[in-house]
Structure 1
Amino acid sequence: MAVIHDTTLKPTKLELLTEWLPSRPWYRGGPEAPVLTRSGGFRLDDPEGEVGIEFMVATDTSTPEPTAYLVPLTYRGAPLEAAEHALVGTMEHGVLGRRWVYDGAHDPVLVAELLSLIEGRVPAHSQSIDGALDPEVIRSCTTATFTLDGFAPEPADDQEGTRVPVPRGMVLHLHRILNPVPENPPLCPEGAYGHVARGWQDPQGAPLTAVFVTLRSA
């Protein structure tokens, strides 16, 4: 089980994202740097206990209409091989030392655990409470179990988000721009074989819910 340490991070996660987000094709901000707040999310466990996995909601309030971004991140104690292009940055952790922070769509550990979550084989964990599960995460799946031996993700970004091809002719769609859905959303979005949804808070503290990820045919 991952341990959440109450310690310092230099730079902070939001400071790293302030530099990184404007480089993404799905970024909706203006010419000025984003002004980010941490608005919610959840974590997954790496079975090997080596990689931190977090799905963060970061809200940019620099524009008249705030934008909530889904940012899946992985935290590693050493560089991920052949993933320099996916590096968000490095930070110094007060307990663990230097950590390499990656866009999680490129990390095979995150992709494998995300599929396991969709399939219902692993639970989601609280973003900030050590050892606690997150009962607010909603998931569904209508397809068979995936086998990912030797799988290396090759995601593609565009203005709509990130698509990660996975085995059996499927694609994970990471909805980088979170669009709120009505209360009691359908179990699975139309045309999808699975999904993950969760709530977060807008800058005024109002609760919102969105679909974070869908699993669809390629």
Structure 2
Amino acid sequence: MCEAEPDQHAHTGETTTVMAVIHHTTLTPSKVELLTEWLPTRPWYRGGSGTPVLEKTGGFRLDDPEGEVGIEIMIATDLTSPGRTAYLVPLSYRGAPLEGAEHALVGTMEHGVLGKRWAYDGMRDPVLVTELLRLVAGRTQAMAQSITDFPDHEVTHAYTGAPFTPVAFTPTPADDADGTHLPTPHGTVLRLHRVLTPSDDNPPVPATPALGHVSTGWPTPSGDRLRAVLLTVRQR
């Protein structure tokens, strides 16, 4: 397995461009193995009492402008559930524990190049949340997941609300049976759709009063592609 780590900076004048370094190496345990233990503890998990059989089926990454935190927006599909339930799992990867975020720790892994890595529920990591809001606002691009340094053009976004500048803040999300709600400093609420509702074509545009949304696609075993709305932003 490989993990994209944005730990290189390319400088051009006053502009700093972060380029992710793609490490093709081992992770012990793997990300999927960590999620196999963690997902059933979530209120939005739809499986029963058995152990899920997870497969990483899609997603993308965002690059931390400071080059310190790995950010992955993963789609993990449970192969044991009827209809192959697809879960949306934002994860952040750090080289040291995130202070005050013990409750958000998904687990630790040993990276073949970088050593010990701490994996967190990304909705509780201020760096990931800030970059996710920047994506909604059109201020950053989704990148191909742990593969290249090219944008992932299958990820689409729209935002019609008042302009805002995403700033770092301490996120205080709440999980329920439907997903994760996160109030932002901009008077909005980010709603993460933890259990994805796929369609064979473009997913329906979120109903009013949604101010924005992000969508993407992922492959099926037959080679077709499904799409779903990953998150919406609404007025608080």
TM-score, reference length from structure 2: 0.88
Separation of aligned partners in 1, 2:121 and 2:74:
11
* Alignment of 1:42 onto 2:42: no
* Alignment of 1:32 onto 2:50: yes
- CA shift for structure 1 position 148: 4.7
- CA shift for structure 1 position 188: 5.3
In the alignment, is the contact (CA less than 8 A) between 2:55 and 2:76 conserved in 1? yes
Separation of aligned partners in 1, 2:207 and 2:113:
41
- CA shift for structure 1 position 34: 0.4
| Structure 1 residue aligned with 2:149 | 131
| Structure 1 residue aligned with 2:31 | 13
Higher RCO (C-alpha 8 Å, min separation 6)? 1
TM-score, reference length from structure 1: 0.95
In the alignment, is the contact (CA less than 8 A) between 1:140 and 1:187 conserved in 2? no
| Structure 1 residue aligned with 2:123 | 105
In the alignment, is the contact (CA less than 8 A) between 1:39 and 1:200 conserved in 2? yes
Separation of aligned partners in 2, 1:173 and 1:16:
24
- Local SS of the residue matching 2:21: coil
| Structure 2 residue aligned with 1:195 | 213
| Structure 1 residue aligned with 2:228 | 210
Query: What is the aligned length?
Result: 218
- CA-atom RMSD, angstroms? 1.5
Identify, as 1 or 2, the structure richer in strand. 2
> Structure 1: which 5+ residue stretches go unaligned?
none
| Structure 1 residue aligned with 2:201 | 183
In the alignment, is the contact (CA less than 8 A) between 2:105 and 2:120 conserved in 1? yes
| Structure 2 residue aligned with 1:74 | 92
| Structure 2 residue aligned with 1:122 | 140
Letter in 2 for 1:59: T
Separation of aligned partners in 2, 1:65 and 1:42:
23
- CA shift for structure 1 position 182: 5.3
